[in-house]
Amino acid sequence: MSEVLIIAALLLTAFMATAVVLTRDPARQAIVLSGYGIVLAVLFVVLQAPDVAMSQTGVGTVVVPLIVMLAIHAIRRHHTREPDEGDES
């Protein structure tokens, strides 16, 4: 039973990782990355590492996608505000 669970969790992780790579729009990719973070946390729980799963949920599901979204927003904002200026960022 536990081996079936582990294989299922691994397959799900591989599926979500592929989905992240195949999503081309960065903003959508951040959301898919968040989903991948949850699936990875499930894998860690299945492998009996709840402490790591908690870190993974916090960092991989919330903080990293949030930082990516904020960075994308900042870049878009700078580009729409100053269309003529060469933006070096």
Partner 1 sequence: MTGRVRLLVLAVGGIGLAVLFALAAFRLPGFGGTVHPYGQRTLPNALAHHTPNVISSINFDQRALDTLGEELILMASALATVLVLRTVRAEQEESAGEHAYGAAQVFDALRITGYLLLPITLMTGVYIVAHGYLSPGGGFQGGVVLGSAIHLVYLAGDYPALARIRPIPMFETGEALAAGAFVVLALWFAGQVKAMNAVVGLEVGCAFVLALAKFFEQALLVRKDS
14 binds partner 1 (CB under 8 A): no
Min CB(64)–partner 1 separation in Å? 11
Binding mask 61-80 for partner 1 (x = CB under 8 A): -xx--xx--xx-xx--xx--
58 binds partner 1 (CB under 8 A): yes
Backbone phi, psi, residue 23, to 5°: -80, 120
Chain centre distance of CA 25: 13
Tokens of 75: 């870049």
Q: Which amino acid is at 3?
A: E
* Cα–Cα dist 60/24, whole Å: 19
Min CB(2)–partner 1 separation in Å? 8
18 binds partner 1 (CB under 8 A): no
* Cα–Cα dist 26/72, whole Å: 8
- Chain residues binding partner 1 by CB under 8 A are 3, 50-51, 53-55, 58-59, 62-63, 66-67, 70-71, 73-74, 77-78, 81-82, 85
